[in-house]
Chains A and B, each alone.
Chain A
Amino acid sequence: MMFLDLARKNAWRKPMRTVLLIVCIAVAFLIYGLTASFLAGTQGTSAASDDILGVMSASGRTEPLPIAYMSRLAADPDIAAVGYMTRLRGFVDIDRNVVAVSAADPDLLMTVNGKGLGLTPELVKAIGEGRDRVLVGRALANAQGWRVGQRVAVTAFDTRKEDGGRDWRFEIAGIFEGENAATDTYFMIARYDYVNTARARAKDTVDAFIVRPRDGVPSGELAARIDALFANSAAPTRTQSEKQFLEAFLRQYADIGLIVNLVVGAAFVTLLMIVVNTMVFAVRERTFEIGVLKTLGFSRLGIMTLILGETLFVFAVGGSLGLVLAKLATMISGPELGLVFSLSVLAKGLAIIAALGLVTSALPAFNAMRTPIINALRAR
């Protein structure tokens, strides 16, 4: 038997109470795991780059910019590559089945952010073989059950065609995987020339330019210079990193990070109170035994370590269970929910387990440590 065995046996002396405590902790860490995974993977913000810049209209992201800006951007010596895209939102079959289409020049997109999106020369070649061809992201393809070669029709919400219709027909030329699991791949890439030619309005405009700065060029400074370049033009720009853009986009609806932190915070504060209360009572019930241990020669530090170990054991079991469940949930839910149980989520979770274990055991451990042996032995 070791010190840890003693702590473990103490924890299990009332199995029902310990199981309920572990379930309680597991649920709190499941909530943490899911919400943190949601935050980490919210529509790809975790994978979004701080280096890739998006140049949009300062009047709002729905306001287009003239494609003529392209040449002025490309002339900047600090810009390594520039591309453009226009966004077409619509639905497939039923109006709740919303999809997004980014119409871009595939070659330019490959140069600017091909690595991040997981584009390959084969994919770019495949989309180039027909004007109505598209590349579909893996998450979207899986969610819709689409295959290469299949034809799909997207009914646009706003973007009408010259013939007045809103149905855009595409042929799937390939599927891009994204750089990693956190990359947003819940959209498709169409050819800009096809969309631009066929649409009824806003021809020769784009929703955004995508800029990759040269190595060593601070993206913040470049963004400011780009905005200054178009400050006095008819359509001033607002340049942000891809990450900033996505976060700002999400913040239009709500500060998701704040909401998630509040939910997790509330769960943990409740958990803290439950566990502290339970542990205080559990240790108080054993005051006499603590007196016996002290009589046998266990020091105050030894008693504190014992209670610390007991609480940490309960937290380790419950917290690990919660994190494992969260990981399983993110795997089962599939990529369309955008849940990414990253290493940082796991590391933060483990740190919280340790911190909460220490905080919750502090009061009962301190009480047990301080109780004089004489008083403890009278507590039977």
Chain B
Amino acid sequence: MKLIYEKSQAGRRGIGVPKPDLPVPEVPQELARKSPPRLPELAEPEVLRHFTKLSTRNFGIDTGFYPLGSCTMKYNPRVNERIVGLPGFANLHPLVEDDAAQGALELEWHLQEILREVTGLDAVSLQPAAGSQGELTGLMLFRAYFKDKGEDAQRRKIVIPDTAHGTNPASVTMAGYELTPVKTDARGNIDVEDLRDKVDEHTAGLMLTNPSTLGLFDENIEEIRDIFHGVGALMYYDGANLNAVCGISRPGDMGFDVVHINLHKTFSQPHGGGGPGGGPIAVRESLEPFLPVPVVVKDGAGFRLEYDRPKTIGKVRAFSGPFGVFVRSYAFIRSYGPGLKEMSEVAVLNANYILARLKEAYDLPFDRLCMHEFVLSARSLKKEHGVSALDVAKRLMDYGFHPPTIYFPLIVPEALMIEPTESEAKETLDEFVDAMLAIAREGAESPELLHDAPHDRPVRRLDEVRAAKNPIVRFRFEQHPVEQLPVEQSAGARQLEAQKGA
């Protein structure tokens, strides 16, 4: 498919711009551009068809099954969009006084209350805009807490298991801490013996995703809690996998002191295209004084943004956070009502259903009941037939599915990480399983078919290495000289003429 610049024809116009009926301001010579901008020149139907065609090449949860492990690509109910589009929400200016934004503040307050209940903790800040920002904010709270106790210089280490999301070690470094990695044992839990050797009075805390990126709930979480709390250290819960446990178990009850919640995953936002996301944090009472400002508080019958928190770490984002995200997630949660637990139960059930049907055809590094996701390995396919996890993922696209997450977590070779979410019907799960089983057979019988996949997509196998080393991120005008029209006909000349007005 051609780029819109390549479709451009010199002099073609979609609309006729009327001559301005106001005097054109004088642009100082040194600021005026020497030549007109090289905008693509097309008629309106050409533009419309170009972008409509592009949109049909997109793949999203609205077009198909999207089992991208760890990303919780669940369906985004349309009612969310209807609510967030209500004029009182959509047209609200962020700088209005509290008394003109009572409905919005009330929604934020209720969302804070719900997140307190879901996490089993005492106080919430809605500010962080993503899970990674929630992590950094949480670790900054750790530091503020220990500084207040006079222990910041002593406690320099954060413990992270080798299954962690890459954002965890990055947040540790950004917050000025040192990383202490800890291993995973044969059942997929944190290796508690390895942990005991590494936790002491220099430890500030633990960052843990539970269930882990292996989709496994850590069976020793209470023992782990005792190890950390025993030396006065704190525990951070990466809420990336909260979709597995809502209404069933609470991070606060497991001993965690700070939790981030990925609103865009667990509580539905369109997030395949980069956001916006929401990463609120919930904290134990001992950390509440340090929360970012403002916090929404209930004051008599009304609500207000409270800034007066002397020990606050400050602001981490403009205003009170990504408001549209709050409205959608609030609408989603209230649509479930008391049945929110069912969301997690079905997410776990769906994952276990697929796992049970696939575990004979692929390697299963940790053979346990999984939570909302699980990790298979294409290790045997690779060893016996030279077919990699990447080949399996590319072939899945021919069957009309979004590939799962691959090569993560790092401790599983040839990893395929599958998260179906609660949104899918059994027929869809079966179609996906049938495709995965067919691909395992194809891999054994005709490996080339997989090496060359995808066969049936708008583009074939992309050269990821070349894309990483030599990315082309803009149209290279210098390689496409302007087609010279006679001066009086040239679009540029006409355009400049038109701008001069009558």
Say if A and B assemble together. no
